[in-house]
Structure 1
Amino acid sequence: MLIELERPAESTRIQRLKALTTGTHDTLDKRIMRAEPFASRERYALFLAVQHHFHGDVAPLYASADLNAKLPGLADRCRLEALRQDIVDLGGTAETLASTTGPLSPAAALGWVYVAEGSNLGAAFLRKEAMKLDLSDDFGARHLAGHPEGRGLHWRNFVAAYNDLPLSEAEEIDAAEGAKAAFRRVHGLVEKIFG
């Protein structure tokens, strides 16, 4: 059954995607906060493990020639190496991870990338919490650092490119399903790693 996608005249593709994924996203945010990832460095190390697995999943998407053609500069946005260094900073081992996404349609892949990029925007709040643990952009919280051009500008550039993609209504729905799957993946990782 095909879901009808509401298209208010003033809404953008990103706004529609956000509206279709808000419930799944909110559920994840609440679960992460219940896990208290910034209560201690030990809890934060668990958060890094969650992030590491998710960014291991999306790293191949950031390297995809097809997605980079659609979203120029996407490869430069990947935060997996920064995450690995954060894990090492805190005394952990950053093993190489294989993506668990399985085959994705191009539109679903865009949904996963939307979640990863949106998490970078939300990282501004998390970065402040990490600083309370004496972590910084140079030690332990590299993956939460803003882009040198500014976090807001970096996000707006991504949004502009995303909104300009020539997607059909069915592809927008597929992107939303991909984004929901990405949010559920992170939720599953939080449940598994934090217990």
Structure 2
Amino acid sequence: MTVAADTLAPSRAKRFRAATHAAHERVDSAVMAAQPFAARENYARFLRFQYRLHRHVEALYADPALQPFLPTLAERSRLEALTRDFADLGLTLPEATDGPALPLPEALGWLYVVEGSNMGAAFLAKEAAKIGLSDDFGARHLAGHAEGRGLHWRRFVAGLDSVDLSPDEDTRAEAAATTAFDHVLKLVNEECAAR
């Protein structure tokens, strides 16, 4: 009976998605309300938000303790691409700080949110092209992975779902995903809100 229950239980990624749906919607609405692709000035504010977010989680991508669970994690970081986007556009990098080191469950929640944003970046990349930006200029951080966004995401989800967590740790990971979305919304409001 335990085996059947485990087989029928939704994956960790699906549970995170259900638990964070409302928070995710708030972030999407705030980003689109900022009209990041209406003008380069708007996009520059969007880039500031993106850079601050990715700088905040950069330590997770380099954390050796996470690599056995998510073997391609280090190469998934988009911070370097963001830095190049700023250089392409002649913009100064914003002040940003690294986030705290996180235990495994909380790290998984945060990574779920940041990695998931790469799926939505396909739409954003098309919008960026309308203001002359591309995977090679100014919107490098929105580029899809060479193997395709879908496969890249599925590989991440497989790793996320395979980590053995206790029920308490799983609850903490899910709560961390919500916290991560709240942090993203805070950054969007600070950087992208109409000025």
Deviations 1:54-107 (A, max 9, x none): 0001110000001112111100000000001111111102257321x3342210
SS in 2 for 1:138: coil
Counterpart of 1:3?
none
Counterpart of 1:183?
181
Deviations 1:12-49 (A, max 9, x none): 11101111111111111111111111111110110000
Partners of 1:26 and 1:8 in 2: how far apart? 29
TM-score, L = length of structure 1: 0.91
Identity in percent:
49
Counterpart of 1:40?
39
Q: Is the Cα–Cα contact under 8 Å of residues 82 and 140 in structure 2 kept in the other structure?
A: yes
Q: CA deviation at 1:189?
A: 1.0
Could you tell me which runs of 5 or more consecutive residues in structure 1 were left unpaired when the two chains were aligned: 1-6
Once structures 1 and 2 are overlaid, which stretch shifts more, 59-68 or 173-182? 173-182
Counterpart of 1:130?
128
SS in 1 for 2:66: helix
Partners of 1:88 and 1:181 in 2: how far apart? 31
Counterpart of 2:82?
83
Taking the TM superposition and a 5 Å limit, the aligned residue runs for 1:18-167 are 18-94=17-93, 97-99=96-98, 101-167=99-165
Partners of 1:95 and 1:30 in 2: how far apart? 23
Partners of 2:33 and 2:10 in 1: how far apart? 33
Partners of 1:192 and 1:8 in 2: how far apart? 43
Could you tell me which runs of 5 or more consecutive residues in structure 2 were left unpaired when the two chains were aligned: 1-5
Q: Is the Cα–Cα contact under 8 Å of residues 147 and 154 in structure 1 kept in the other structure?
A: yes
Q: Is the Cα–Cα contact under 8 Å of residues 17 and 172 in structure 1 kept in the other structure?
A: no
Counterpart of 1:4?
none
How many residues align structurally?
Answer: 188
CA-based RMSD: 1.5
Which amino acid in the other structure matches residue 182 of structure 1?
A
Partners of 1:96 and 1:27 in 2: how far apart? 25
Partners of 1:93 and 1:108 in 2: how far apart? 31
Once structures 1 and 2 are overlaid, which stretch shifts more, 85-94 or 52-61? 85-94
TM-score, L = length of structure 2: 0.91
Q: CA deviation at 1:194?
A: 2.3
Partners of 2:7 and 2:182 in 1: how far apart? 27
